[in-house]
Amino acid sequence: MVSRGELAVRKFLEGCNCAQSVLYPFCTELGLEPQTALKAASGFGGGMGRHGEICGALSGGILALGLRFGGADRPAIESAYAKVRELIGGFRRRHGEILCRRLLEGIDLATEEGHRRFKELGLREKTCRRCVQTAADLVEGLLGRP
């Protein structure tokens, strides 16, 4: 059986951004239409629209956790917060950082030069692919899946 992390990496290699790729494998169990998930997560890649903030893979994972554990009442919100803290903690332990620009060695993806350097250094494969895998694997565990 293929893990959700492997499915997320496949989606990433097909051209989806990091956030889309992490959210996508969980659509069915979260009751979310795949196209809706891809649209909802589309602005989170590259650390929020290539702004270099929180890693898009984490953002996709946070969306998934919110759909499962979140809600409008305080207990549901606190439940979602707890799961998000676990996700971020696990991600930080594996990668040492959660900010996209730091994970990508300071490259500014919002610029043409930054995008060129990103490609030259192979960071999509070297860094982003691993971040997508990690985030999806962690979410899978947090959702109670083997």
pLDDT tens sequence across 25-56:
999 999 999 999 999 999 999 999 999 999 99
What is the span of the domain harbouring residue 9?
4-142
Residue ranges in the chain whose pLDDT is less than 70: 145-146
Q: Provide the angle, in degrees to the nearest 10, between the axes of the packed helices 129-142 and 74-95.
A: 140
The count of domains in the chain is: 1
What pLDDT shows up at residue 145? 44
What pLDDT shows up at residue 51? 96
